[in-house]
Amino acid sequence: MAKFDSPIYVTRPDFPPLEDFNEYLKKIWENKILTNNGPFHQELEHALTEYLGVKYISLFSNGTLALITALQTLRITGEVITTPFSFVATSHSLWWNGIKPVFVDIENDSFNLDPQRIEAAITPKTTAIMPVHVYGNPCNLDAIRKISETYGLKVIYDAAHAFGVKKRDDSVLNMGDLSILSFHATKVFNTVEGGAIVCHDEKTKMQIDHLKNFGFTDELTVVAPGINAKMNEIQSAYGLLLLKNIDSAIEKRSLVAQKYRGLLKDVKGIRCLYDIKGIRHNYSYFPILVDQNHYPMTRDDLYGLLKKNNIFGRRYFFPLISNFPTYNGLDSSRPENLPVATMVAKQVLCLPIYPALDLSDVEKICDIIIRQV
């Protein structure tokens, strides 16, 4: 059992060829435009609408500001039903808007918000649902749509992991009222830091663009208390370069996922998530569940063992958002209300997956896991 000479992390950002990036930097210097809806910003928005198959997209400096602005755009107030099994930005965006998050449990197979639990959590103060496409696996879109239509609720999808994901050849980003993407460095597609809001009509796109730029509509007019959340030209140029090879990157991730599943499928106490039929996945992460009732060590013990061998997995998402001090006083945060999420958070471990990860390294990682049985 050989230790890796250099650290192997869960995700690693893709880097475009330096000479290609330098060419973009030269153009930025020639244009003398660094931000404020510059030419590369406009080009990237256009390129992403075409690649993703969406009507309108507005770029942001990061995904958290995109979430915060999406809630402002739809004027969401009161209570919003969401998941405790996500990155904290999901709930933080509600808190920053003075909105009370109401946590409901997740499904055991997808780790997404359980539609059967949503209706019971609706109160007269509920104004929206904020589901998360966890690890890029789409939520139960039809069930959530029916609930939202029945109760007159807005739906904002946290699609941070769902870049390029499709269901029956249609982008999952076209569902709900708005979808929010993250382009953080560890994502399938990144702009170093960045994010976006996907919307369905020109009027909403214009409103979002105003809100992310202090509320300015022209040089002299401010129509809303907006924020500064614009993506700059360097971020946009980086994204344009990565977009050229995104399909190849996703295919390489797919091969890594297939290798893991083939090697781990018969390991007692180790459970892998599998592709959903009819879904075009992007393989954002590769989570396994470690069941200590059948595997000879706990998830945390395995995490520590991998770490000793220079393999840095991630307990993603652990702890649950509902366990953090900011949120654990809420009635909906009680563990007895969230049995599946509580179990998954104790067992989940994301293994390394990125385009440059060699399949022989995947074999070494799996060998460490298998040798414990």
Helices 359-371/246-264 angle, 10° precision: 30
**Residue type at position 170:** D
Classify domain 18-104+112-243 by CATH architecture.
3-Layer(aba) Sandwich (3.40)
Paired residues of 157 in beta bridges:
179
Paired residues of 279 in beta bridges:
167
- Return d(Cα 231, Cα 191) in angstroms, integer: 9
Domains in the chain: boundaries: 18-104+112-243, 246-371
Mode of pairing for the β-strands spanning 79-82 and 100-103:
parallel
Q: Which two tokens stand for residue 77?
A: 């107030």
Closest CA to 154 of 62, 72, 96, 64: 72
Mode of pairing for the β-strands spanning 311-312 and 8-9:
parallel
The domain over range 246-371 is classified in CATH as 3.90.1150.10: yes
pLDDT in tens, the chain (373 residues): 568 989 999 999 888 899 999 999 999 999 999 999 999 999 999 999 999 999 999 999 999 999 999 999 999 999 999 999 999 999 999 999 999 999 999 999 999 999 999 999 999 999 999 999 999 999 999 999 999 999 999 999 999 999 999 999 999 999 999 999 999 999 999 999 999 999 999 999 999 999 999 999 999 999 999 999 999 999 999 999 999 999 999 999 999 999 999 999 999 999 999 999 999 999 999 999 999 999 999 999 999 999 999 999 999 999 999 999 999 999 999 999 999 999 999 999 999 999 999 999 999 999 999 999 8
